[in-house]
Amino acid sequence: MGFEHLANALTLTNLALALFGVVAGTVIGSIPGLSATMAVAVLVPITFSMAPASALILLGAIYTGAIYGGAYSAILLNTPGTPSAIGTTFDGYPMAKRGDGDLAVAIACYASVFGGMIGALALLLLAPPLSSVALAFGPVEYLWLSIFGLSLIASLSTGNVLKGLAGGALGMLLSCVGVAEISADIRLTFGVSTMIGGIEVVGALIGLYCIPVLIDLVATPERHLKVEQGVRAVRFREAALIAWRSRLNLLRSSVIGTVIGILPGAGGSVAGLVAYSEAKRTARPDQKFGDGEPDGIMATESANNATVGGGFIPTLVLGIPGTPPDAVILGALLVQGVRTGPTLFDGGGSIVYTFIFGLFIATILMLPTGLLIGRYAYKTIVTIPKTILVPAVGFMTIIGTFAIRNSISDVIIMIVLGSVGWVLSRFGFAASPIVLGLILGPIAEQGFVQAWIIGDATGNLTGMFFGRPISLAIIAFTILSLVYPIIQGRRAKRILATQANSND
Amino acid sequence: MLKLKSVKTFVIASAVSLAAATGALAFPDKSIEYIIPFGPGGESDISARFQQPFFKDKFGQDLVVSYKPGGGGAVGWAQLNSMTADGYTIMGVNLPHIVIQPAQKDVGYTTDDITTFYMFHYTPDAIVVTADSPYQSLDDLIADAKANPGSVTMSGSGKATANHLAQIRFDKMADIKTTYVPFKGTGASTTANLGKQVKAQWGYTTVGAAQGDAVRMLAVAMEERHPLFPDVPTFKELGFDMVGGAYRGMAAPKDTPAEMIKALSDAFGAINADEAFRKQMLDGGFALLDVDSAGMADFMKARKDEYIQAATEAGLLN
């Protein structure tokens, strides 16, 4: 990893590719339905004619840009552009609603750049040793990790835990529809063959988050987002100050993101949720998570961009993709004739290190481009009249959902789920627990079934589920995050007689 | 690079003469949509990506890969016959999927609905262990499984899949009882094996190619040894009549005109005949296969009988 690799990464072509990748990725990622995986897959054929390192830089830049871009729609439309940005909606949208959308977008940009840098740094310096994390996680660990993620439901739905749990259960039930991932059983299709494909997570996200926003936009006379009167200075500096004050949160979330990125069975959405959960647990008493707290955005956005670097660790060291976009990139590398694995770092290191420096450059480029595009996106969404905004976003949700797997039934499912979600929200059931159940349910199910089979075969079921150190640590954290809100709630109740009920 | 170019020119020349000879100069006159019924990044996607540049080189038109994942491929296959049947829309097909899925339950298509026109490769079944595993040979694994029935855990990709059927068949042949642990895809199954969550893996030769020195293959299910792994014995050498794996090919909607089917079969046959393509596939651990549209019926029948028998015996079809 010498100077020559940095110089290789700094050629005009590679710089241009990194810039193009980041900009294209940010724009694609901001459109709900167009995910990072798809952005990368679409561009793979273009990279065939490139040098391997340049191809990797382009794909890596698109990937990292798309993960950041997902924050825009999360903040401004309450709809995660990519699943990684689910947690960003929790506080981003409330911020935008009260007129701080520009601040939220800037904070998300700083957090994403910071997280991306930490992830890339881990990839540069610690890739081979860290790759063992991917192997230390067995089925049981994934089971407990997803339960830990599900425990976030309890703290997300303060004062409304029962409704939150019901939502989570509904989400898990929805995740069962179709062909079961590992047992190959066909479940809950009610004889309809179009349901065999199950409920697509991204389509469900769009429906559950975006459709209610659209309905409310049409149903209420108010503006979409509150706009401050008068000209305001750009809030880059204010955002930077907030980010600096929360440097500990940024660092912790980035480390969480990097480690979870390494786990092939998890990914950006889980990383963001776990980081959010931890940020919330360690928050000061005056911070109101879920109510427009900047620290919430910082936690998810730094964590999800850290998964980019983290995910490349098992991809490049073990040849096992850390995240879905990594799987596509791994395929592109194979076609290029590049063999991944430990030898790639030793022997053919030049490609890897050129790429890692390229990833750094792309992440740094995200700062100016992200702030610029973010400002533009904010201004557009805020100033555009409702009569244009609603049909435009509505059109995008349909196109985006269709594009995921060229399926019209996904669009129908999206609209049905969205309408049901809107009705449920009238009764105090929030979208997030449903989505958590939908995403984490399958991970928990697989982990449970596999752990059971292995534990049963080795005659040690209890030891399998409760006797492994990493599992025990995750269980401890789960209990902590379940009990903590109760203690916190009591303390808050003592201070304030009335407490605002927030449930989304 | 130079060598590759000369091979390319040679192949283009031969393809052109072939086309001229059959009088099918018009095909293809636009790009072909190649639908993979899985998500991007898997073996089906990767092998299609291998074909992509060769198709462009030989026929001057793009092979546009798109994805229609869902239901382990079933969503795509159920819709294949309602797609445009002009020879410019094709879909990847996989065995044993298209035999086992409709045999298990109503998935919206039957095996005979799928008009497969070319089978171009397979990933041979292989038993994979980590480099530091106590199993030095297949005999070690069999001995352990005989001494401790059921305690030898083996990871694999999915249930009622090529890996799973291989495990069932091998257990029967070797008269042992192992425990199969299904994972989501070969990547997850490999991770479990490398992380020692299981004692061995039912994988493919592609796993051996990707993992290199980190793993050891105990046997591969091929007629002859894979050129990439001259030291790994075949199951046949060790006395087990096992040859096979996951087969991949391409199908067209059933109303596609016969001459178009023939032209497609010839086109992909030409790619398979390209030395550079063959080398790339072999280096990735794949094994090439050439079953064209004419020989497809016999090939499918043999596979179907084999899979249905294994799956029935294992109680997978009820």
Nearest to A453 among B40, B181, B191 (CB): B181
What is the Cα–Cα distance from A78 to B303, expressed in whole angstroms? 51
pLDDT digits (tens, 9 = 90+) for B223-276: 999 999 999 999 999 999 999 999 999 999 999 999 999 999 999 999 999 999
Domains of chain B are 2-122+245-313 (3.40.190.150), 123-220 (3.40.190.10)
Question: Which of A134, A194, A332 is closest, CB to CB, to B191?
Answer: A134
B25, two tokens:
């100069």
Question: Among B68, B151, B188, whose Cβ lies nearest the Cβ of A264?
Answer: B188
Taken in order B261, B106, B122, B185, the sign of the CA dihedral is positive
| A 77-116 near B (Cβ less than 8 A) | none
Start-to-end CA distance of chain B, whole Å, equals: 54
Interface contact A454, partner B, CB < 8 A:
yes
Measured in degrees and rounded to the nearest 5, phi and psi for residue B131 equal -60, -30
pLDDT of residue A235: 80
Q: Do B184 and A196 touch (CB under 8 A)?
A: no
CA-CA distance, B269 to B273, in Å (whole number)? 6
Kindly give, in sequence order, each residue whose CB lies less than 8 Å from that of residue B280, ignoring residues fewer than 6 positions away.
A335, A337, B50
CA distance B311 to chain A (A): 13
Q: Assess contact for A262 and A313: CB atoms under 8 A.
A: yes
With a CB-CB cutoff of 8 Å, which residues 214-273 of chain B face chain A?
A: 214
| Residue A96 C-alpha from the chain's centroid | 19
| Cα–Cα dist A166/A176, whole Å | 16
Give the C-alpha distances (Å, rounded to integers) separating B51 from A146, A171, A216, B150: 38, 40, 49, 41
The rounded distance, in Å, linking the Cα atoms of A315 and A262 is 9
Asked whether the bond before B53 is cis by omega within 30 degrees of 0, the reply is: no
Cis peptide before B96 (omega within 30 of 0): yes
Chain A residues near residue B99 by CB distance under 8 angstroms:
none
Mutate to test the interface with B, among A46, A140, A333, A458 (most CBs of B within 10 A): A458
Whether omega for the bond prior to residue A285 falls within 30 degrees of 0, making it cis, is: no
Q: How far apart are CA B108 and CA B39, in angstroms?
A: 20
Q: Which residue of A134, A178, A446 is in closest CB contact with B71?
A: A178
Q: How far is CA A176 from the centre of its chain?
A: 22
Q: Least CB-CB distance to A328: which of B40, B105, B188?
A: B40
Work out the minimum CA distance from B72 to partner chain A, whole angstroms: 7
Q: What is the rounded distance in angstroms from the CA atom of residue A442 to the CA atom of residue A431?
A: 18
Closest chain B residue to the Cα of A180, Cα to Cα: B71
Compute φ and ψ for A230, nearest 5 degrees. 85, 165
Residue the block writes with tokens 């407990």:
A144
Question: Looking at chain A from residue 329 to 348, which residues have their Cβ under 8 Å from any Cβ of chain B?
Answer: 330-332, 334-335, 337, 339-343
Are residues A196 and B153, on separate chains, in Cβ contact within 8 Å?
no
Q: What angle do CA B167, B168, B172 make, to 5 degrees?
A: 110
Half-sphere exposure of A145 (CA within 13 A, CB side): 27
In angstroms, the separation between the Cα of residue B211 and the nearest Cα of chain A is: 7
- The token duo for A237 is 């500096």
Tokens 């006159």 sit on residue: B29
A457/B192 Cβ within 8 A: no
SS3 at position B251 = strand
What residues of B are in contact with residue A408 (Cβ under 8 Å)?
A: none
The answer to whether B184 contacts A135, with C-beta atoms less than 8 Å apart, is no
Q: Which residue is associated with the tokens 């997280």?
A: A115
Q: Do A405 and B49 touch (CB under 8 A)?
A: no
What number of C-beta contacts closer than 8 Å exist between A and B? Answer: 170
Provide the pLDDT confidence category of residue B11 given band limits of 50, 70 and 90.
Answer: low
Domain ranges of chain A: 3-494
In three-state secondary structure terms, A368 is helix
CA dihedral sign of residues A43, A44, A48, A52: positive
Q: Do A446 and B71 touch (CB under 8 A)?
A: no
How many residues would you count in chain A? Answer: 504
Q: Which residues of A touch B49 (CB under 8 A)?
A: 44, 331-332, 334-335
- Sign of the CA dihedral running A237, A241, A244, A249: negative
Q: Token digits for B160?
A: 């009622």
Q: Which of B207, B205, B201 is nearest to B224 (CA)?
A: B205
What is the phi/psi pair of residue B130, to 5°?
-70, 160
Taking an 8 Å cut-off on Cβ atoms, the answer to whether B188 and A265 are in contact is yes
C-alpha A159/C-alpha A139 separation (Å) is 33
d(CA A47, CA A328): 12
Q: What's phi and psi for B124, nearest 5 deg? A: -65, 140
Q: Is the dihedral of CA A129, A131, A133, A137 positive or negative?
A: negative
How high is the ipTM of this complex? 0.87
CB half-sphere exposure, A198, CA atoms < 13 A: 28
Give the pairing type, strands B245-252 and B115-130: antiparallel
Check if B299 contacts A (Cβ < 8 Å): no
**A162-201 residues touching B, CB cutoff 8 A:** 178-179, 181-184, 186, 191, 193-194, 196-198, 200
Task: Check pLDDT > 50 for residue B1.
Answer: no
Report DSSP letters for A65-79, one per residue: HHHHHHHHHHHHHS-
Tell me the chain A residues in contact with residue B195 when contact means C-beta distances shorter than 8 Å. 134-138
Give chain A's residues under pLDDT 50.
Answer: 231, 499, 503-504
**pLDDT tens digit sequence for B98-118:** 999 999 888 889 999 999 999
User: Which tokens hold the place of A304?
Assistant: 């999800």
* Residues whose CB is less than 8 angstroms from the CB of residue A395 and which lie 6 or more positions away in sequence, other chains included: none
Beta pairing partners, A124: none
* Segment 26-65 of chain A within 8 Å of chain B by CB: 37-38, 40-41, 44-45, 48
CA-based end-to-end distance of chain A: 46
A408 touches chain B (CB under 8 A): no
Give dist(CA A144, CA B181) in Å, integer: 19
Angle at B254 between CA B253 and CA B259, to 5 degrees: 95
| CB-CB under 8 Å, A198 with B40 | no
What one-character DSSP code corresponds to residue B233? P
User: In angstroms, rounded to a whole number, what is the distance separating the alpha carbons of residues A446 and A11?
Assistant: 45
In angstroms, how far is CA B178 from the centroid of its own chain?
24
Q: Is A24:A366 a contact under the CB 8 Å cutoff?
A: no
Cross-chain CB nearest to B159 (options A184, A319, A405): A184
Q: Do A135 and B67 touch (CB under 8 A)?
A: no
With CB atoms and an 8 Å threshold, state whether B187 touches A321: yes
Residue B143 CB partners (closer than 8 Å, separation 6+): none
Question: What per-residue confidence (pLDDT) applies to A366?
Answer: 95
| A371, two tokens | 């702030």
- Which one of B40, B153, B194 has the shortest CB-CB distance to A135? B194
- Residue B111 to residue B300: CA distance in whole angstroms: 9
Using the Cβ of B179 and the Cβ atoms of chain A, whether some distance falls under 8 Å is answered with yes
Name every chain B residue with its beta carbon within 8 A of the beta carbon of A194: 75, 108
How far apart, in whole angstroms, are the C-alpha atoms of residue A302 and residue A249? 9
For residue B24, what pLDDT is reported? 47
Helical pair A408-426 and A211-219, crossing angle rounded to 10 deg: 60
Q: What angle do CA A61, A63, A65 make, to 5 degrees?
A: 65
- Closest chain B residue to A406 measured between Cα atoms? B68
**∠ Cα A300 A305 A307 (to 5°):** 100
Give the mean model confidence (pLDDT) for residues B273-284. Answer: 94
Distance CA A225, CA A233 (A): 18
